[in-house]
Amino acid sequence: MKRIITGIVIVIALVIIGIIVYILVHKGQDILSAVGEQDINTELLQVQTKVKKIELDSEMQNDTNQLKGQKFSDCTEEYAQKLKDDGVISEKDENYKYYYIWDQSVLNELNLNIKPEAGKIYIVNYITDEVIQVTTSDTTENVYSTNDMQL
């Protein structure tokens, strides 16, 4: 009789432990997802701050040569065309000519402490201060914008 009760207690304990582990794993995934989203938001805001500073400096000195990066309109890369096709950036936008591409070399030049990732670039607009983070290898899945941020 003692063996049966002991067996039942062990089974109940294992079930409870299993439930606790299941809950912790799923809660941990939610927390990691939220942390990843906050990292992206932080990076977007860091870049946006630099964009605003450069834009103001350029405006005060009336010198557009201070604008950093490659003009998006001059870019012939496949990802640029994909972003236009998907409507992320429109050539009809009145501020289209103010979109510039910042790669890791621009981030380094501006002393932005953003960890390098293969294919990660930022597309910035010096008039609207919009910042778009894109992974060039997969522009349909990894597009983040300051316009979409929820603070």
Q: Can you give the pLDDT at residue 33?
A: 55
Q: What is the tens place of the pLDDT at every residue in 45-102?
A: 888 989 899 898 888 888 878 889 999 988 888 888 888 888 888 888 898 999 999 9
pLDDT at site 18: 82
Has residue 32 got a pLDDT over 60? no
| Residue 114 near residue 102, CB atoms below 8 Å | no
- The greatest distance separating any two alpha carbons of the chain, rounded to the nearest whole angstrom, comes to 91
Residue 22 is predicted with a pLDDT of 80
Q: Which whole-number Å values give the CA distances from 71 to 64, 96, 101, in the listed order? A: 12, 10, 6
Q: Could you tell me if 111 and 117 are in contact, meaning their C-beta atoms sit under 8 angstroms apart?
A: no
| % of the chain residues with pLDDT over 70 | 83
Q: Which pLDDT belongs to residue 90?
A: 86
Q: What pLDDT is stored for residue 87 in this prediction?
A: 82
Does pLDDT of 134 surpass 80? yes
**Pairwise pLDDT comparison (127 vs 35), residue with the higher score:** 127
The radius of gyration of the chain from alpha carbons, rounded to an integer in Å, stands at: 24
Predicted local confidence at residue 125, as pLDDT: 92
Mean pLDDT value across the chain = 81
